[in-house]
Amino acid sequence: MKTKKQFTSALFCTLLIASCGEKVTTAPQTSEHNRAPAAEAKPDPRVARRAAPGLTAAQAALRRAQIANVDYRISVTLDDKSNHFSGRVIAETEIARPLQQPLTVDFTGGEVQSVSINGQTIPVQYNGYFITIDADKLKPGSNSIAIEYTHPYSTDGSGLHRFKDPQDGAVYLYTHFEPYKANRFAPLFDQPDLKASYTVDVKAPADWRVVTATREEKVETLADGRRHWHFPASKKFSTYIFPLRAGPFVA
Instruction: Specify if 49 maps to a domain.
Output: no
Q: How far apart are CA 89 and CA 138, in angstroms?
A: 17
pLDDT tens-digit profile of 51-61? 999 999 999 99
Residue type, 71: D
pLDDT reported for residue 48: 84
Q: Is residue 2 part of a domain?
A: no
In a domain, 52, yes or no: no
- The answer to whether residue 105 scores a pLDDT higher than 80 is yes
Q: Which residues form the domain of 215?
A: 7-22+67-247
Task: Report the candidate in 59, 20, 16 with the shortest Cα–Cα distance to residue 40.
Answer: 59
What is the structure's pLDDT at 32?
Answer: 52
Is 162 inside any structural domain? Answer: yes
- 203: in domain: yes
**pLDDT reading at 146 higher than 80:** yes
Question: Strand, helix or coil at 172?
Answer: strand
Residue 136: which of 102, 97, 96 has the closest Cα? 102
pLDDT digits (tens, 9 = 90+) for 167-185: 999 999 999 999 999 999 9
Burial (CB count within 10 angstroms: exposed 0-12, middle 13-18, buried 19+), residue 96: middle
Does residue 154 form part of some domain? yes
Answer yes or no: is pLDDT of 158 > 80.
yes
In a domain? residue 185: yes
Asked whether residue 56 is assigned to any structural domain, the reply reads no
Mean pLDDT value of segment 143-161: 98
Nearby residues of 109 by Cβ (< 8 Å), 6 or more positions away: 128, 151, 152, 184
Q: What is the pLDDT of residue 35?
A: 60
CATH no. for residue 234?
A: 2.60.40.1730
- Residue 29 CA, chain-centre distance (Å), reads 28
When pLDDT is averaged across residues 119-143 and rounded to a whole number, the result is 98
For all residues of the chain together, what is the average pLDDT? Answer: 88
Residue 60 backbone dihedrals phi, psi, to 5 degrees: -65, -40
Q: What total of structural domains would you count in the chain?
A: 1
In the chain, what's the furthest Cα-to-Cα distance?
63
